[in-house]
Every structure is written in structure tokens, then in C-alpha cells.
Amino acid sequence: MSKHDEKEILGEEIKKEFQLERLIRFSDAVFAIVITLMAIEIRLPETGEHPGAEALVQAMDRLLPVIVSYCVSFVFIGVVWYQHLRMFSLLKDYDAGLVLCNLVLLFFVSLFPFSSSVITHEQGSLLAFFIYLGIILLCIASQFALYHYILIGRPVLRVNTDLRQHLEELRKR
């Protein structure tokens, strides 16, 4: 193999690595933006005056469902992000199928601010609960599809590593 061929192969590997890194950074940005959008929902109602202690307690009481929804959603999104991090640590390359599976997951994750808002504004509504639960289930299903694609569907994209733990995790899901 000539030096020129070696340089071309190295250049292609660096390009693939850079593009995969871009995909990971884009995904991280979506997760961060989703969490930020949910945090923006946590705000005291504006009154034209400085509220007293009693008014503040009442406002905090009204905010409690928003805070609980944020905490539950934050934990769920954090778990999804961590699993995403673990999945992408297995990759050395990407293809259109991987990008599509990842975008589907990010799409459903990006619906969390909406579903969180629905469940806090329509407290006690069965429809609101099912919307929130539906988004969670769609996230789980799309994450499973992404994991399956990485582990089973396109092994050529993975680094050579022991997959027993990952395959067992996929089986449990």
C-alpha cells in the first residue's frame, strides 16, 4: 500500500469520526434544549407587586405539579441520554439508518416539554396522563429500535468489543 493510499484511508477514517462526533453533539444539544425548555416552564406568576410570604406560598403550591413534572421528566430524559451515550460509545461509523433511528428518538424526546405542559395544565385528566405516558412509551420504543439497529441490524458500524452486557440489556428490554 502506498503512502498516498494510507493517507486517503486515514483521511476517510478521520472524516467518519468527525461526522459521528457531529451526530453525537447534535443529539446532546437536543437533550439539553429539551431540559431547558421544561425548566423555563417553572416560573412564578407575575403580579404587579411584591408578593408577601402568603402569596409566595400559594404560588409555590400552584407550581408544585410543574416542579414534579419537571423532576420526573428530567430523570427520564437523563436516563435516556445516558443510555444514548452508552449506545454511541459502541460506534465507529454511521449510516443513514442510524441517523434516521436517532432522529426518531430525538423527535419523541423533544415532545417532552409539550407533554409535561399538558399534564401540569390538565391535572387529573386521563387524556393528559395518556399523552404523557404515550411520549414515554414512544421514547422507549424508539430507543429500543436504535439499540437494536446498533447491536443487531448494522454490526459493521460498531467497534470490536464484548457485547454480552449490551445484548443482555437489549434482551431485557
Tens of pLDDT, residues 126-152: 999 999 999 999 999 999 999 999 999
User: What's the predicted TM-score (pTM) here?
Assistant: 0.83
pLDDT higher than threshold 70 for residue 4: no
pLDDT higher than threshold 80 for residue 6: no
Q: How many domains does the chain have?
A: 1
For the residues 47-68, what does the mean pLDDT come to? 79
3-state SS assignment for residue 91: strand
pLDDT higher than threshold 80 for residue 13: no
Q: What share of the chain is helix, strand, coil (3-state, %, to 5)?
A: 80, 0, 20
For the residues 62-91, what does the mean pLDDT come to? 93
Match 407575575 to its residue by C-alpha cell: 46
Which range has the top average pLDDT, 44-58, 79-93, 112-126? 79-93
Residues 93/65, Cβ–Cβ less than 8 Å: no
Question: To 10 degrees, what angle do helices 126-148 and 96-110 make?
Answer: 160
In angstroms, the CA 34 to CA 11 distance is 35
pLDDT tier at 166 (50, 70, 90 boundaries)?
Answer: confident
pLDDT tier at 16 (50, 70, 90 boundaries)?
Answer: confident
**Domain span including residue 94:** 3-172
For the residues 64-68, what does the mean pLDDT come to? 89
